[in-house]
Amino acid sequence: MNLETISTANNIDLIDVGTDLTKSEQIDRFLAHHLNDLSRSRIQTLIDEGYVTVNNLLCDNKKDLVKVGDRIQIITPAATPLDLVAQDIPLDVLYEDEHLIVINKPAGLVVHPAAGHSDGTLVNALLAHCTELSGINGTQQRGIVHRLDKDTSTRQRKYGYPSTMIKTVIPDSQV
């Protein structure tokens, strides 16, 4: 694809869509494919919040189609800090190194602070246990890879490593 990213300074990406675009594509899919550091969900949020323009016009629909000759500008605002407090909550740590922590999360422990659960969460426990957790989706939300609700028990990863990498670190019988 003849795609040119003109500028990435100050969290702004300016993209000129080249002539070898073979078919029209929804803008959220197009940007997710070409901007590897942003998820499609994050791009949809940026569109909804008015941070994406096409040909100097505000893009307000993630289903708008990208065409040859379009100039797309996407602004990624700086991450906003969250006020999270580290809490000394016991963790069942199965494995830990400088990049990865695998824990056995008990059922009933909420993962992220949210309405009704402002503290006493896995994030609060990890902040006390780990010196650094990565941010995600434009918020300095502590990066925990999971698909869990509070009543699910399972193991957690510190950073976004795939399970195949975990299996190389920890034998299958222990994962």
* Catalytic residue of the set 83, 88, 97, 149: 149
Q: Which residue has the tokens 């195949």?
A: 164
Strand ranges of the sheet holding 52-54, from the earlier edge strand across to the other edge: 3-7, 12-17, 71-75, 52-54, 57-58
C-alpha pair distances (Å), 143 with each of 26, 34, 127: 28, 23, 11
| Coil, helix or strand at residue 128 | helix
Task: Report DSSP letters for 4-67, one per residue.
Answer: EEEE-GGGEEEEEE-TT--S-EEHHHHHHHH-TTS-HHHHHHHHHTT-EEETTEE---TTPEE-
Q: What is the DSSP letter of 68?
A: T
CB atoms within 10 A of CB 46: 21
For the question of residue 149 being annotated catalytic, the response is yes
Catalytically active residues, by annotation: 149
